[in-house]
Amino acid sequence: RYILGIDTSCDDTGVGVVELLLGGGVQVRANRVWSQTVHAQYGGVMPELASREHVERIDAVMGDALADAGLRVEDIGAVATTSGPGLMGALLVGLMYGKGLAQALDVPFYAAHHLEGHIYAAASEAELRAPYLALVVSGGHTHLFDVPREGEYVLVGATRDDAAGEAFDKIARLAGLGYPGGPAISEAATRGNPDAVPFKEPLQGQKGFDFSFSGLKTAALLAHKAGATPEDLAAGFERAAVRVLVKTALRAAQAYGRETVVVSGGVAANRALRKAFAASPVRAVFPGKGLNTDNGAMIALAGAAAIQAGRLPSSLTEGAVAYAPLANPQP
Ligand code: ATP
Ligand code: FE
91-121 pLDDT, tens per residue? 999 999 999 999 999 999 999 999 999 999 9
45 is in an annotated binding site: no
Nearest residue (by CA) to ligand 1, atom 29, is 182
Could you tell me the pTM of the whole model? 0.97
Q: How far, in Å, from the CA of 104 to the mean position of ligand 1?
A: 34
Mean pLDDT of 262-289: 98
195 is in an annotated binding site: no
Which of 57-61, 154-158, 173-177, 179-183 is predicted with the least confidence, judged by mean pLDDT?
A: 179-183
Q: Is the pLDDT of residue 213 over 60?
A: yes
Mean pLDDT of the chain, nearest integer: 96
- Which band of pLDDT confidence, cut at 50, 70 and 90, is reported for residue 321? very high
- Alpha-helix runs per DSSP H in the chain: 47-69, 88-105, 114-120, 164-174, 181-189, 214-225, 230-256, 271-278, 297-308
Q: Is the pLDDT of residue 246 over 80?
A: yes
121-130 pLDDT, tens per residue? 999 999 999 9
- Which band of pLDDT confidence, cut at 50, 70 and 90, is reported for residue 223? very high
266 lines ligand 1 (CB under 6 A): yes
Q: Is the pLDDT of residue 39 over 70?
A: yes
Cα distances from 63 to residues 60, 201, 275, 289, in angstroms, run: 5, 47, 36, 21
238 lines ligand 1 (CB under 6 A): no
Q: How far, in Å, from the CA of 138 to the mean position of ligand 1?
A: 4
Mean pLDDT of 1-23: 97
Q: What is the pLDDT of residue 189?
A: 98
- Which band of pLDDT confidence, cut at 50, 70 and 90, is reported for residue 179? confident
Task: Give the pairing of strands 260-264 and 12-20.
Answer: unpaired
Q: What is the pLDDT of residue 249?
A: 98
Q: How far, in Å, from the CA of 318 to the mean position of ligand 1?
A: 27
- Which band of pLDDT confidence, cut at 50, 70 and 90, is reported for residue 204? very high
Q: What is the pLDDT of residue 329?
A: 64
169 is in an annotated binding site: yes
Mean pLDDT of 297-301: 98
117 lines ligand 1 (CB under 6 A): no
Which of 21-25, 144-148, 172-176 is predicted with the least confidence, judged by mean pLDDT?
A: 21-25
Q: Is the pLDDT of residue 289 over 70?
A: yes
Task: Give the pairing of strands 260-264 and 132-137.
Answer: parallel
Best residue among 8, 237, 292, 321 to mutate for probing ligand 1's pocket (most ligand atoms within 8 Å of CB) is: 292
Q: Give CA 234 to chain center in angstroms.
A: 22
Q: What is the pLDDT of residue 115?
A: 98
SS3 content of the chain, % helix, strand, coil (to 5): 45, 20, 35
Best residue among 116, 270, 293, 321 to mutate for probing ligand 1's pocket (most ligand atoms within 8 Å of CB) is: 293
Q: How far, in Å, from the CA of 250 to the mean position of ligand 2?
A: 23
156 is in an annotated binding site: no
Q: Is the pLDDT of residue 331 over 60?
A: no
Strand, coil or helix: what is 327?
A: coil
Q: What is the pLDDT of residue 48?
A: 93
Q: What is the pLDDT of residue 175?
A: 95
19 lines ligand 1 (CB under 6 A): no
138 lines ligand 1 (CB under 6 A): yes
Rounded-to-integer distance, Cα 135 and Cα 138, Å? 10
